[in-house]
Amino acid sequence: MSRGLALFALATALLALGCENGHTVVVQLQTDLVPGLEFDEVFVQATGLRSRRASLRDDYGRPVELAELRGIATGTNLAVEVSLRRDGVEIVSRRVQRNVRADALLGVIITRNCLEIACPAPGAPTATECRDGVCVTPDCEDEGSCIAPECVRDSECTSSIACVVPRCALGVCLETPDATRCRSDEVCSPLVGCVPATVPDAGPLDAAGPVDAFTPVDAATALPDAVVPTPPFTVYRLPRGASEWATRNVSGDWPTDEIEAAFAPQGSGVMLVMTHTELFVLDLATYTFIDRVARDSVFPELSGIRVAAATAVRTDVFVTAHDTWIYAWDASTRSATFTRFVRYEELGADWRGPLTPPWHSVYGMFYAPDNADGWATNLDERLMCPSSSVVDHLGYLSTDGFGPRGMITTVYDGACLQFVDQSLYGTPGYSAFTFPGAPPEPFEIDAIEYASGLWVFTSPE
């Protein structure tokens, strides 16, 4: 096998999530109602019940994950109902129905203009749910909207309120508040703009009537930290040659929905952080997110795909979700050209060796041009190249395939064309994760990549 094919093979192994134990559906919510002011709880009902408290720190203008439903059989007609409550009283709800055929992301949109809408509409008894002020059927979001979208991108949405950020969510324009556009003692009302830090009045909110007015409160009861949002993830950094990790503060327009993968094209000075719908650009020198674009505009072949891992190998980008998509990356334009698709089943004997990871779940992968850091130390001498130690290689994080569940690190050597290292996370076999400050909860890792050292993004499971 050539070096190019070896590097290609390195990035392609991921066991299909849920192929034997059913599918996974992730439920996400977006709304332009104000958390902590107009509602204080999100309640989800599906195969089970889960309640999530809402706060002013949550940015529901972008997708917020509410639940992860596992083990759903193919063909299940899954119904999920999300309701927004205040002081225990439901103010608005929406039910979304999906016929499950594969792992899926189920987005639920609840808009302010549905507060005054009573569904079903006359003459349409099956249109029981409100979507952007219109009564629709519960399966409206399944395989595309049942009504024409009013937007495709954020730039097509507008607002006359200075502190409101117009966003396009599943074809609907949301007017989402941004308290950072107000003074430190103010919050943003999508109705009138910046107002003193407030809470809703004590009376119940009538779902069929207008939103209650904002009522000022004194400084002693003002909502704390309303204008100091924090990222929902942590960035860990182990610089090249270092023996201690550090957590890094980031600035700019960071992701607020779940990070799926990250890749750092060699010499570009940036890392591309991928969510299910967007691609964010992180400047590595300043730790600042400097740009964001729709993921489909760069990787249209990945539309609707839940990505497990990605990495950049010189000028190529490998994105894997069981199967693998390969792209040529142009660092100057930050654009990708699709070059090849390969199925997991097409991989050869390289992926059947004694140290091959059990691909029940891959949490991340990263490419390193050498082992100058000396992190790979648990090498199997029977599998090593006769003339050298590990060089061009990919590192993987995955489950060990046994119970109780553990995380393992594995190394595929691009010169030997086989796996040469496997060890439990945090043991001396792969020393990087034994250093002080290493991510303590490996199952919270969202993405990992190498760029003059290791970068790890984690968020609570």
| Range in 46-60, 257-271, 344-358 the model is least confident about | 46-60
* Residues 235, 124 share a domain: no
| Range in 106-120, 293-307, 386-400 the model is least confident about | 386-400
Predicted pLDDT at 56? 55
Segment 288-326, tens digit of pLDDT:
999 999 999 999 999 888 898 999 998 899 998 878 899
Residue 31 lies in a domain: yes
Predicted pLDDT at 350? 59
Q: Given a cut of 80, is residue 335 above it in pLDDT? A: yes
Predicted pLDDT at 11? 43
- What SS3 string covers the chain? CCHHHHHHHHCCCCCCCCCCCCEEEEEEEEECCCECCCECEEEEECCCEEEEECCCCCCCCCCEEEEEEEEECCCCEEEEEEEEEECCEEEEEEEEEEECCCCEEEEEEECHHHCCCCCCECCECCCCEEECCEEECCCCCCCCCCCCCCCCCHHHCCCCCCCEEEEEECCEEEEEECHHHCCCCEEEECCCEEEECEEECCCCCCCCCCCCCEEECCHHHCCCCCCCCCCCCEEEEEECCCCCCEEECCEECCCCCCEEEEECCCCCCEEEEEECCEEEEEECCCCEEEEEEEHHHHCHHHCCCCCCEEEEECCEEEEEECEEEEEEEECCCCEEEEEEEECHHHCCHHHHCCCCCCCCCEEEEEEECCCCCCCECCECCCCCCCCCCCCCEEEEEEECCCCCCCEEEEEEECCCCEEEEEEECCCCCEHHHHCCCCCCCHHHEEEEEECCEEEEEECCC
Q: Long-range CB contacts (< 8 A, 24+ apart) of 17-21?
A: 17/103, 17/306, 17/308, 17/322, 17/361, 18/70, 18/71, 18/103, 21/70, 21/71
* Residues 418, 301 share a domain: yes
* CA–CA distance, 169 with 397 (Å, rounded to integer): 32
> Is-contact 309 317, C-beta < 8 A?
no
* CA–CA distance, 197 with 163 (Å, rounded to integer): 14
pLDDT band at 60 (very low <50, low <70, confident <90, very high): confident
Predicted pLDDT at 14? 32
Kindly give, in sequence order, each residue whose CB lies less than 8 Å from that of residue 389, ignoring residues fewer than 6 positions away.
371, 379
Task: Decide which of 112, 129, 147 is a domain's last residue.
Answer: 147
Strands 288-294 and 251-252: what pairing?
parallel
* CA–CA distance, 50 with 120 (Å, rounded to integer): 26
Predicted pLDDT at 48? 54
* Residues 250, 393 share a domain: yes
% the chain with pLDDT above 70: 78
The total domain count for the chain is 2
Predicted pLDDT at 10? 44
* Residues 411, 287 share a domain: yes
Mean pLDDT, to the nearest integer, of 205-221?
Answer: 32
Q: Long-range CB contacts (< 8 A, 24+ apart) of 94-98?
A: 94/129, 94/130, 94/131, 95/128, 95/129, 95/138, 96/129, 96/138, 96/139, 96/140, 96/141, 97/137, 97/138, 97/139, 97/142, 98/25, 98/139, 98/141, 98/142
pLDDT band at 186 (very low <50, low <70, confident <90, very high): confident
CATH code where residue 433 lies: 2.110.10.10
Predicted pLDDT at 21? 59
pLDDT band at 348 (very low <50, low <70, confident <90, very high): low
> Is-contact 13 354, C-beta < 8 A?
no
* Residues 135, 257 share a domain: no
Mean pLDDT, to the nearest integer, of 23-46?
Answer: 83
Mean pLDDT, to the nearest integer, of 258-278?
Answer: 93
* Residues 237, 95 share a domain: no
Task: Decide which of 94, 113, 147 is a domain's last residue.
Answer: 147
422 vs 311 pLDDT, higher one: 311
378 vs 411 pLDDT, higher one: 411
Residue 318 lies in a domain: yes
Lookup: tokens for 303: 């539309």
Predicted pLDDT at 380? 67
User: Among 455, 84, 7, which residue's Cα sits nearest to residue 236?
Assistant: 455
CATH code where residue 127 lies: 2.60.40.1120
* Residues 114, 234 share a domain: no
Residue 250 lies in a domain: yes
116 vs 13 pLDDT, higher one: 116
450 vs 398 pLDDT, higher one: 450
**Dihedral (CA of 443, 445, 447, 449) sign:** negative
Q: Given a cut of 90, is residue 284 above it in pLDDT? A: yes
Per-residue burial over 440-453, b = 16 or more CB atoms within 10 Å of its CB, e = otherwise: eebbbbbbbbbbeb
Predicted pLDDT at 17? 32
% the chain with pLDDT above 90: 24
Residue 383 lies in a domain: yes
Task: Decide which of 97, 126, 147 is a domain's last residue.
Answer: 147
Predicted pLDDT at 428? 87
Residue 198 lies in a domain: no
Residue 18 exposure: Cα atoms within 13 Å on the Cβ side: 20
Residue 118 lies in a domain: yes
pLDDT band at 389 (very low <50, low <70, confident <90, very high): low
Residue 202 lies in a domain: no
* Residues 244, 141 share a domain: no
β-bridge partners, 68? 26
43 vs 326 pLDDT, higher one: 326
Segment 233-249, tens digit of pLDDT:
999 999 988 999 999 99
Predicted pLDDT at 446? 93
pLDDT band at 194 (very low <50, low <70, confident <90, very high): confident
β-bridge partners, 11? none
Residue 366 lies in a domain: yes
β-bridge partners, 336? 329
Predicted pLDDT at 250? 92
33 vs 228 pLDDT, higher one: 33
* Residues 234, 129 share a domain: no
Most confident by average pLDDT, 39-43, 117-121, 160-164, 268-272: 268-272
The average confidence (pLDDT) of the chain is: 78
* Residues 393, 295 share a domain: yes
Residues of the domain holding 411: 230-458
* CA–CA distance, 22 with 403 (Å, rounded to integer): 19
* Residues 384, 243 share a domain: yes
* Residues 237, 133 share a domain: no
**Dihedral (CA of 109, 110, 111, 114) sign:** positive
